[in-house]
Structure formats: structure tokens, C-alpha cells
A and B are shown apart, each in its own frame.
Chain A
């Protein structure tokens, strides 16, 4: 039978095409009753096609992405709260997001694995030992007083601000083949030995934290709280950065993940602020690159999911189903194998081979070659993870990504650094 193209089906196709083309500007908020779609707003660094595929197989949920940069996530939540169902954001953005009322408290009773969430978030400790809490540590902003409250609660309540998903401890990345000597302190970033071969990230809120780690380790100043500097402390930090910049210390600054990979892989830079997956990306090109543990410790970050205040009823149920699936282990295993940490380690373990768990989480020598989730080799048998075990790395956290009270002043001073 010849397939007839009538006006109706033509219109339908045209409509679907138009909807596809229009996605990104504004995804339609209403879906047909039995189609489960989640509009995801975030950087999408902890998502991916494999996760999408498995998610659809297990739950029938499809993800519609609104991929933006870290700072754009905040902007979008504040300016277009109706354009997404679920937001994947950093804990340090919460002091900006929560007062807006555009995200609601998450109901911990609906999260199956809530009690198994890593203690780094809930208590700010690991293995019973307190970890650094300078900056916007998750435990400070973990709970809300009420579902619709715009105030954080220091006591546990039923309402969580975010349901944590992924976190990590960041440090400097180095090219051991080009540096040819051990690096053990943050101060090396501004060591004149690496003049013209260093880089720092040009995202003010994170760059200033890396700079603070450097200033402390140079012995210039001890901050009472690196994550909440006074104006004088900001002045001091920026002054040291400007002096280094004028002396030609930095080859470039970077603001995009891929830029940091290119700078490192091409050898333009041998020491710089870097993120864990960027190290992986350099290494899978066959270029040696180390995520160097430093004696002053790490700068940690954590991300999680929240629902838009506009997400209600059936759509909210789908979002909770998505979050429960996300924490159920497959994604955790997937992300742990990239060097991140899943917020629910116990479920991630079920999706990792024994030798992988030993390498990534326990800091043991690799029993076999370690492969990235895409199958490319990351480390040979016998190698040990940079920085060691989960407890060692997270135990060494010195501060967390932060939003400062003097944020406005800090951004202005950061611009001064770029202009110097």
C-alpha cells in the first residue's frame, strides 16, 4: 500500500521539526501523558550518551539537555525558572539560588539512598575525621528549614537543598615529563622557574580559591576563611596575581575545560589549575599528565540535583524517579571510573570490578590496566592513583568552592587582574 502523505501527518512532521529546532531556546513544558521526559539544566559533564541509553532502558525516561557553563546555570535558574525541570548545580551556587525561591527543597523521604549519601556532605567528615570546611562546604548549605524556606538549616531536616550526585577534590595538573622534578606545593604555580609556562583558570569564583591556596603556601598570608575573604584579603590576593602576571608567569588563562586540555597537551603550559576529566583527556592522548597531590590539600567541589519550583505533580514524580535511578549505582560506577566520586559510594561499588574499586577508591596499585569508560587506557597495571585513596584525597580537602559575601568586589578586582 502506498504511504499517503496527508496534510495532518505533514503538519505533524513539521511541528516536530520545529519543536526540535526550537529546543534550546525553550523546550515545551508539556509532554504527552505516557512520555517521560526530563528537561535537564546543567553543564552535562556528569551526563553522557551511555548514561542516557541506560536510563532509557531502565526507566523509559528521556533527557532533554539544556547544556550551559557553570555560571550560566545560576543565571538561567534565576532568570528562566520555567525552562527546566531539574537543575544540576554546584553547592556553592546555593547562596544565590535559594533566596530566589526558584528551586524548592528536595524531599529526602522520596530518595531511596538518602541515608547512604557520603558523610563528606552530610557531616563534613570522612572515616570519622573532620575535613576542611572553608568556603561553601556542602554541610553548611545541605538542609533547608522548610520545603519553601529560603534559609539554610544547620540541623538536619526533611528538606535537602540538593540531592548530591558527584564531587571531587581538585588540585594542580602538571606535565611530569617537562618539569622533571617532584612538585609538592601550591606555591610552585607562581615559581619563576615556570615563567611563561603556567596557567590559572579565568573563572573568578574558582580562580580566586586556587590563588588563595598559592598565597597561603607561599607563606604570604593565612586566611581565616579562604572561601569568604574580606576586601583587604581580596586586594592582597589579586596584588600577588598581578605581580606574577606582569612578570610574565602565565602563558594564558583558561575558562573552558577544553582550553585547559589543549594548553597542557600542546606543552604551552606545564603547570596549571585543572579539573579531573581534563587530566583524563590529556592522558588518553598518550601524554603524561599528573593530578598532583599537594601538601596544603585540595580545593573540593560538589554538585547535585534540585527541582525547579515550577515542576509539579507527575513531572516531579518523573524527576524523583530519575534522581533515584541516578544514585542507584550505574552512573556512580561510570563516574568513579573517570576519577570523580559518586555521592553514594555503596551503590557505585556494585557497578565496578573489584580491581577498579581498589584502584580508584582504595588507592591500591592497579591489578590490571585501568581503562576509561570509553575503553581507552588510563593507567597500566601496577600504577597507583594520584593522591591515593578516597579517604586520603577527600581527607586532604582544605577548602570548598565558594560564593563570598564580597563577591561583587571580588569580580571587579579579578577584572583588574585580567586587565593588568
Chain B
């Protein structure tokens, strides 16, 4: 007889497995399949060709040391990933550290934590666009700087630049770093810190030898969030970069609007592979399943 009790875990995993299969595995397989199809300006044609992939890397070897579109785009994206990751990690870690170890009551911790989420009450497009009147040529920052005599002419690099894109990314995604790190830190046994203190460890030694290693799962999870979001982003880069800074997402978006679905699918596959490689490297640093 089938023992429901013994197989309950397997049975319970079915609904989620089904959701993952139907809404992730199947579409992903379709994307991979379509990336080998041919297309014209009004239809996609079942086929098995490598043209879409060849188009992505068109001229990439020939034009070296000049970068082809794909290399330039990926290098630009990776640069944003790295800078955004570094800044959000630093700020996110410090915010979490403060919330967990410097705020003494649980109530206050919750209040402050909720304060961090306030920006999320509006959509991220609005949060992003609200920077524009601030940073523009005749914006608040420039007019203030000119009025108090800091600069003579408006600073052009404030808006539609790599600076404004990075600023928006940090603003939008720091919380994704705060939450998992906060969660990891909350679970650190306080007696460990007391023990370290009793054994004569300085604050820095405690931080380096106890808190950081034990927050590692949070750091890795937060990093995965930030890296995957920034890799696939095209709206923030488009709006804050004045559409002059490339992103893989934008290339896919343009190809989709021109009905070049196979080309877009091939680009998506390359993007997924790149992102997976980064994530894979990160998970080498920590065994998430064990840590959770």
C-alpha cells in the first residue's frame, strides 16, 4: 500500500515542482529552441541554424582590439554589476550591522527596518525618474551648486551618465542586500560575540572572524539578487543613461519590438549563461543549501 506519510515530502513538493516546470523549465526550453530558428520581418520559421548566435558575435574577433557590440555591451553591464555590487554590499552590510547590533530593542529594530522599506511604497520607475529633476542641467543640484558659488557652469555628468545610472541602481537595490544580511545576522548567537569579547578580541577582530563569516549566506544571497537584477536591467540604464549606454536587456527589447524573436532568444540564452556563470562562481564560495 502507498504510504502517504512516508512520501509526504515528495508529495508536498509536487505543486511547486509543477509551477517551476510549467512556468520556468518549459518557457526556458522554448527560448532555447527558438534561438535556433530563422525569421523574416513578419514571421519566425522553424529551423536549426546558428545565424542568431553568429550575429551576436559578428565581427567580435575580427575587430579586436576594438570591441564589437556584444563585448562592449557585456563589459559595460559587468562594470555596472561590479560597482553596484560593491557599493550596495558595503552600505547594505553596514545598515544591517547597525540594525542588528547597535539597536538594542526588537521593537526599534522593526521600526527602523520598516523605515528602510518606505521607498518601496512607490514603483521603482517613479523612484528612478524622480532623480531627473534633481540632477538635470537646470536641476536642483546644479542650481544649488551655482548659487552657492561652487561651480560656474552646470555639471553635465550628473545626469545621463554612468554616474546617474550607478546612483539609481544603488538607490533601488541596496535593500535587496540589507534584508538577507539582516536575516543572517539576526541568527548569530549573541553568546559567541560575548565569548569573543571575553577572550579579548577587538571589535574589528570580532567583525572579521565572527560576524562576517556567519553573515556569509546573507551576503551571497543579497549579491545574487543584485547581480541578476543589474545584469538583466534595461529600464534604469535607459532612463538614467539617456539611452546612450548599452545593456543586453535593451538589445533584446529592440529585437522583440522588431519581431526578431529568434535573435532575442539567442541573446537571452547568452545572458542567462553569463549570469549563471557568475552565480556559479559565487556559490563556490559558500554552500547555500548547507548554510540555510
In the complex, are the beta carbons of A252 and B242 less than 8 A apart?
yes
In the complex, are the beta carbons of B254 and A74 less than 8 A apart?
no
In the complex, are the beta carbons of A74 and B259 less than 8 A apart?
yes
In the complex, are the beta carbons of A72 and B69 less than 8 A apart?
no
- Interface size of B by CB at 8 A reads 34
In the complex, are the beta carbons of A415 and B69 less than 8 A apart?
yes
In the complex, are the beta carbons of B244 and A245 less than 8 A apart?
yes
Within 8 A of B (CB), among A93-117: 95-97, 99-100
Q: Is B138 an interface residue (CB 8 A)?
A: yes
In the complex, are the beta carbons of B259 and A419 less than 8 A apart?
no
A96 neighbours in B (Cβ, 8 Å): 41-42, 259
Question: In the bound complex, how far is the Cα of B41 from the Cα of A95, in angstroms?
Answer: 9
Hey, what's the 0/1 contact readout for B244-277 against A, CB within 8 Å counting as 1? Answer: 1010001100111111100100000000000000
Q: Is A381 an interface residue (CB 8 A)?
A: no
A418 neighbours in B (Cβ, 8 Å): 243-244, 246, 250-251
Interface centre among B41, B138, B246 (most CB of A within 10 A): B41
Hey, what's the 0/1 contact readout for B55-86 against A, CB within 8 Å counting as 1? Answer: 10010000000001100110010000000000
Asked, given contacts A78-B42, A407-B41, A418-B250, whether A71 binds B160 with beta carbons under 8 Å apart, the answer is no
A291 neighbours in B (Cβ, 8 Å): none
Question: In the bound complex, how far is the Cα of B69 from the Cα of A196, in angstroms?
Answer: 23
Within 8 A of B (CB), among A241-294: 245, 250-255, 262, 266-268
Q: How large is the interface on A (under 10, 10 to 19, 20 to 34, 35 or more residues)?
A: 35 or more
Q: Is B137 an interface residue (CB 8 A)?
A: yes
Asked, given contacts A78-B259, A268-B136, whether A196 binds B156 with beta carbons under 8 Å apart, the answer is yes
In the complex, are the beta carbons of B255 and A420 less than 8 A apart?
no
Question: Which of chain A's residues has its CB closest to B242's CB?
Answer: A252
A254 neighbours in B (Cβ, 8 Å): 243
Report the minimum CB–CB distance from B237 to chain A (whole Å): 10
Question: In the bound complex, how far is the Cα of B255 from the Cα of A196, in angstroms?
Answer: 28
Q: Is A118 an interface residue (CB 8 A)?
A: no
Q: Is A411 an interface residue (CB 8 A)?
A: yes
Question: In the bound complex, how far is the Cα of B138 from the Cα of A72, in angstroms?
Answer: 34
Contacts A196-B156, A251-B242 known; list 14 others, CB within 8 Å.
Answer: A69-B257, A72-B257, A97-B42, A100-B42, A250-B244, A252-B243, A262-B132, A266-B137, A267-B138, A268-B136, A268-B159, A403-B41, A419-B76, A419-B246
Using CB atoms and an 8 Å cutoff, list the residues of chain B in contact with chain A: 39, 41-43, 55, 58, 68-69, 72-73, 76, 132-133, 136-138, 156, 159-160, 238, 242-244, 246, 250-251, 254-260, 263
A selection of 26 A-B contacts at a CB cut-off of 8 Å is A71-B257, A75-B259, A78-B43, A96-B259, A204-B254, A205-B258, A250-B242, A251-B160, A251-B242, A252-B242, A252-B244, A253-B244, A266-B136, A268-B159, A407-B41, A407-B258, A408-B41, A411-B254, A412-B55, A412-B263, A415-B250, A415-B254, A416-B69, A418-B244, A419-B72, A419-B251
Which 8 residue pairs spanning A and B have beta carbons closest together?
A252-B242, A419-B246, A71-B257, A253-B243, A96-B42, A416-B69, A419-B69, A252-B160
